[in-house]
Structures are given as C-alpha cells and as structure tokens.
Amino acid sequence: MKKRIAILGSTGSIGTQTLDVIAAHPDEYEVVALAAGRNTALLAEQVKRFRPRLVSCIDEESAAELREELISSGLGYKVEIEHGEHGLLQVAAHAGADMLITAIIGARGLSPTLAAIDAGIAIGLANKETLISAGHLVMESARKKRVPIIPIDSEHSAIFQCLNGGERREVKKIILTASGGAFRGRSREELVDVKVEEALQHPNWSMGAKITVDSATMVNKGLEVIEAHWLFGLAYDQIEVVIHPESIIHSMVEFVDTSIIAQMGLPDMRVPIQYALTYPQRKSGPFQSLDLVRAGKLHFYEMDEERFPCIRMAYDAGRCGGTMPTVFNAANEIAVERFLQGQISFLQIEDIIAEVMNRHTVIARPELEEILSADEWARMEARRLFA
C-alpha cells in the first residue's frame, strides 16, 4: 500500500522538493492533501499532476482563482477546495494521511501541526518555528499520541541519522554546522547598508526568502539550537554551533567516548526530505554523490557571538524557556517581514528582537492560549519599533 502524504506549503522550496521526491517514487507515495498560500498557478499544476482529494489556499480569493483555473483546464476528477485557517487545519488533519510534511513558514504552522498530532498523523517537520514557539506542547502531545516527529531540517536530519540505533544517553554533545550565511565574510560595519537582494544570496542553499534572511542574521542557527533541544532532549550546554562554510557536514554528534559521527553530503534538501519519508529505510534517489577529492578542504571556525549576536539571544531565549522562545521567534518573523518590505535595515532586525525580548514578562510552562497571546503581543511590539 502506498504511503499517503499531506503537505502544508506545497508551493514553496521544501514543498516543491517534497513533491519532486514523491514524483521519483510513484509506486511508494500518494498525495492526499495540499495547502498553499497565493501561488494558485503552481498549486493548480500540482493538483493536476498529483490528484489530491483536498486542497487549500490562504484565502477565499485564492480558492476562487484555483477553482477557476481547475475548471478551465477540465480537471477529470473531483477535488475539495478549502481556504484559510479552517482549510489549513483540514489538510493537516486529513483523515486519509499517514504523514504530514510541514513546509509552511512561521509559527502559523503550530495549530495545524498540533491538529495533525492529535489525529495521530506522523510529522515530517521542516517548519522549525513551530517547535521554537511551543516545543513543550508539541513534544508532549506527540509523546502522548505516540506520533513520530521526523526532522527534515538538514542539521536535525543529520543528528537524527547519526543517532540512529544509538543510545541518546551516550551523547556528550551535538555540533550544529552553520554556513555563516550571505554576509559571512563581512564585519558588522559592513552590514549597515546591505540590501535585501544581497541578504537573499545564500552561499550554498536555494531556500525561501524568510529562512535565507534568518541564515544571514544567524537567527536560523539560533532557531535550530532550540529545535535540537526539543527534538533530541538535550541541554543547551550540549548544543554547540560551528561555522562550516562548505555545508558538506550537515551536523555531528560527539559521544561520551569522544567519538564523533558526522553526516555528510552535497547540500540538497531532497535527501533529508526523502529520509523523513522512507525512515527507517533508505532508498536510492535522483541525487548526486559527494566527491570528497573534488570537495578538497573542509573548514571550521568558532562561532563569534559579537559578530552574530542573534545566536546569543537564541541561547538566552532557550535557556530562559517559557514564552521567551515564542517571543524571540515572533519578533524575528515580523522584523524579517519588515526588512523584506524595505521598512527597516538589516541590523534593525536584531535590534527589534533584542528590544521585544527585553520588554517581555515571561510565563513559565505556558498553555497554548498563553503561547498564542505572547506571540501576538511580540508581533505587535515588533511592528511598532522603528515605525
């Protein structure tokens, strides 16, 4: 029987690569539900090709556009079209799905991810912001429901692969690799006037705009530290970050006997996506092998918290816990949105995060309602600063 897959964010970087992997194994996987934002032209193509039973768009207008597009192309089967938060939840908890790939951006992925877990659907987790915002709720809920959460983020997939079959209590620490992002060779002075287009030039990966900016500010690695804390149950002191400009070693685990196991490969997100789909098996795929001789030298540098203050803020937020990581994430989401819209400068992203964290009164062990209101509060504060 084919494994039935639902995807949140099917038209994005992770969403389209997930469909590429599925297309390479047509006898193994079936797409049952898709959710996207406003790219109805691409979504219509995906519907025609993968024939899901349910599809959802961001709003009513996009849903109408999609319907129109599918009718005019003479779609030969009946697909249910939904929209908005309701549609997103319907796709996430689709009764016919075995696994949900969370490839939507931001903390808006939280409620649908919780809905899928509640419905007993396995999660292939790309949407890291969900774990930053409410890691304790997501992990607790997954444990109670015995729902597996398989990481897709390249570093976490790497750690997951290194730990395969191993005892977690034998782990001394994990080492997350960071490329250094678009501005890795530049000093802070050289960041004052950087342009949006420059921040969107990641040296090794082709990704959506938000995560590419996060990579340049090092917020991405900060989010990944908190993500690793929740996924692997490690203390923050056991999570280290090193700069590795080549993005060939995707991350490493050091065990108590000082042995280090690393997962390596060319930067291609289809590999961790496929591993999440096939786990615990491995399958071949349309991927290029790493040629170590051609790669030549690999480099590693110490993380500089003065140069990249967002990494320190992320550790602070994680160690503080409660609603602080929620606030760190929400403030960053708004700051990045404003940077992309040309409203603030690159360095003001970190100023906004720092100031909103500074103003926040933490709630320890927050319930979902408290998470959602801390998230909303942080977004409001982040919109007001430098306005």
Ligand X SMILES: CC(=O)[C@@H](O)[C@H](O)COP(=O)(O)O
Minimum separation from the CB atom of position 369 to ligand NDP (A): 21
Scan residues 112-171 and list those touching Mn ion (CB under 5 A): 153-155
User: CA 185 to CA 206: how far, in whole Å?
Assistant: 19
Scan residues 18-77 and list those touching ligand NDP (CB under 6 A): 35-39, 58
Which residues in 136-148 are b (16+ Cβ under 10 Å) and which e?
A: ebbbebbeeeebb
Pairing of strands 239-243, 301-302: antiparallel
Establish if 310 lies at the interface with ligand NDP (CB under 6 A): no
Scan residues 280-339 and list those touching ligand X (CB under 6 A): none
Binder of residue 88, out of ligand X, Mn ion, ligand NDP, none (CB less than 5 to 8 A by kind): ligand NDP
User: CA 156 to CA 228: how far, in whole Å?
Assistant: 7
The number of beta carbons lying within 10 Å of the beta carbon of residue 16 is: 16
SS3 198: helix
SS3 4: strand
- 82 has binding-site annotation: no
Establish if 263 lies at the interface with ligand X (CB under 6 A): no
Instruction: Give 215 or 323: the residue with its C-beta nearer to Mn ion.
Output: 215
Scan residues 148-187 and list those touching ligand NDP (CB under 6 A): 153
Q: Give the interface size with ligand NDP as a residue count (CB under 6 A).
A: 29
Among 205, 236, 255, 287, binds ligand NDP (CB under 6 A): 205
Per-residue x/- track, 164-203, ligand X (CB under 6 A): --------------xx-x----------------------
Cα–Cα distances (Å) from 224 to 84, 156, 159, 381, in that order, read: 28, 8, 12, 24
CA-closest candidate to residue 44, choices 73, 1, 6, 15: 73
Cis peptide before 325 (omega within 30 of 0): no
Minimum separation from the CB atom of position 173 to Mn ion (A): 18
Minimum separation from the CB atom of position 52 to ligand X (A): 26
Pairing of strands 249-255, 260-264: antiparallel
Write the single-letter amino acid at 127.
Answer: N
- 221 has binding-site annotation: yes
Could you give the angle at the alpha carbon of 278 between the alpha carbons of 253 and 80, nearest 5°?
125
Establish if 94 lies at the interface with ligand X (CB under 6 A): no
Minimum separation from the CB atom of position 62 to ligand X (A): 27
Establish if 210 lies at the interface with ligand X (CB under 6 A): no
Q: Give the interface size with Mn ion as a residue count (CB under 5 A).
A: 3
Binding site residues, ligand X, CB under 6 A: 153-155, 178-179, 181, 205, 211, 215, 220-221, 269
Binding site residues, ligand NDP, CB under 6 A: 9-15, 35-39, 58, 88, 103-105, 108, 126-129, 153, 205, 207-208, 210-211, 269
